[in-house]
């Protein structure tokens, strides 16, 4: 079962409780990324501390709630705050260096194309399998009752998730020639900023009206029945709107932007994964009968295995370069539900969590989307 960590209170209190309850996992995550910062990006311990201090200052200016959670987390976990903020800026600290492969496939479906009339949002998160054991579901409920449920690596605050306003986001790595170091807002701050938003317009401002130093993709949808894809890079951004009720995305730019895409030619099957997902879903979407089960079937797809939508470790990958679909997430934004499967999603049922149950003592997930025979 995927671990759920649920914390409530002020943002500093939530961060401190999160840090205390995950201190061992945070230590493992910090050590993993310190090693990668050193070995893959050539960053010294002093470099990490210096940049961590920069990103703490950025957090305070970008969103005081995020800064308070990070400072509380560091104190609760017994970690230097600079290590925690560097961890939350790991995309910027690693990917300005030509860092190696990755992958993610995301899908949004508009409600008028689904059987229940609900907005659906889903993703396979492809990353290093070593991060699977230190990744969990993080639920936060602040003093106003505003709730966020998101996938999170230990020591970090966000990835794909949804909130009690019915707004959700999925993340896809993008890399361009515009990416650089500096005092901009890290990508994972943007994800948490979107999840802290109560409206789509607020989410747009948190992602777009900021100084960015890296590229990334944010697929955002809400229970109001709309979805938009934001491809962001330093100083520029592009948007994609649904076509025939669907948005699908992976790890290359699809909007025409004045930049050079640094991953389109090398990221595993990125040029076909969005089209493949669309092909698997378009008939049900056209018939307006699409269900979460159809999205799950697409996320379990093995076309061009092992670099498929459901990605498996390439046996020829070097040590430390292994990539797989570490987690698969399907969200029903109207029902405020998130279903999740650990690697490999083709061999595991999903666990469905409801936002209303997250803070109920003894509550647990419902098992859903069992393995079909052809995926066993």
pLDDT digits (tens, 9 = 90+) for 93-136: 886 555 545 679 999 999 999 999 999 999 999 988 988 999 99
Least confident of 88-102, 180-194, 195-209, 342-356: 88-102
214 has pLDDT over 60: yes
> Mean pLDDT, to the nearest integer, of 285-300?
98
What are phi and psi for residue 359, nearest 5 degrees? -110, 15
The predicted pLDDT at position 376 comes to 44
Rounded mean pLDDT of 272-277? 98
Take residue 26 and report the two structure tokens written for it: 């945070």
pLDDT value of position 49: 97
Burial label for 340, CB within 10 Å (0-12, 13-18, 19+), is: buried
Across residues 311-319, what is the average pLDDT? 91
Handedness of CA 269, 275, 280, 281 (dihedral sign): positive
Band (192; pLDDT cuts 50, 70, 90): very high
pLDDT tens digit string along 319-362? 878 999 999 999 999 999 999 999 999 999 999 999 999 999 98
> What was the pLDDT predicted at 97?
54
Strands 227-233 and 103-109, how do they pair? Answer: unpaired
Summarize pLDDT for 324-333 with one digit per residue, the tens: 999 999 999 9
- Decide: 326 and 125 in contact? Cβ < 8 Å: yes
């Amino acid at each position: 079962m995927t671990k759920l960590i649920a914390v409530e209170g002020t943002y500093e209190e939530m961060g401190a409780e999160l840090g205390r309850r995950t201190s061992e996992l945070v230590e493992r995550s910090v050590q993993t990324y310190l090693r990668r910062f050193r070995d893959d990006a050539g960053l010294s311990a002093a470099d990490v501390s210096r940049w961590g201090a920069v990103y703490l200052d950025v957090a305070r200016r970008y969103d005081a709630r995020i800064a308070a959670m990070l400072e509380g987390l560091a104190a609760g976990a017994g970690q230097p705050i600079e290590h925690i903020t560097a961890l939350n800026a790991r995309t910027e600290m690693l990917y300005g260096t030509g860092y190696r492969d990755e992958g993610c496939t995301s899908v949004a479906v508009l409600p008028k194309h689904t059987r229940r009339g609900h907005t659906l949002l889903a993703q396979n998160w492809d990353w290093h399998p070593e991060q699977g054991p230190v990744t969990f579901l993080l639920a936060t409920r602040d003093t106003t009752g505003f709730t966020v449920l998101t996938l999170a690596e230990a020591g970090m605050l966000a990835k794909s998730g949804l909130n009690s306003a019915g707004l959700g986001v999925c993340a896809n790595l993008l890399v361009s020639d515009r990416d650089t170091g500096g005092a901009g807002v890290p990508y994972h701050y943007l994800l948490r900023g979107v999840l802290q938003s109560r409206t789509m317009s607020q989410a747009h401002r948190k992602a777009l009206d900021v100084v960015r130093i890296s590229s990334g993709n944010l697929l955002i949808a809400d229970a109001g029945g709309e979805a938009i894809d934001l491809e962001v890079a330093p100083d520029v951004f592009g948007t994609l709107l649904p076509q025939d009720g669907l948005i699908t995305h992976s790890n290359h730019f699809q909007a025409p932007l004045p930049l050079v895409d640094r991953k389109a030619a090398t990221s595993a099957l990125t040029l076909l994964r969005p089209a493949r997902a669309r092909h698997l879903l378009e008939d049900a979407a056209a018939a307006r009968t699409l269900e979460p089960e159809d999205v799950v079937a697409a996320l379990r797809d093995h076309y061009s295995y092992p670099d498929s939508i459901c990605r498996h470790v390439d046996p020829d990958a070097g040590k430390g370069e292994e990539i797989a679909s570490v987690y698969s997430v399907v969200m029903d934004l109207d029902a405020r539900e998130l279903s999740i499967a650990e690697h490999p999603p083709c061999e595991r049922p999903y666990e469905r969590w409801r936002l209303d149950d997250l803070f109920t003592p003894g509550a647990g997930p419902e098992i859903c989307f069992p393995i079909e025979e052809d995926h066993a």
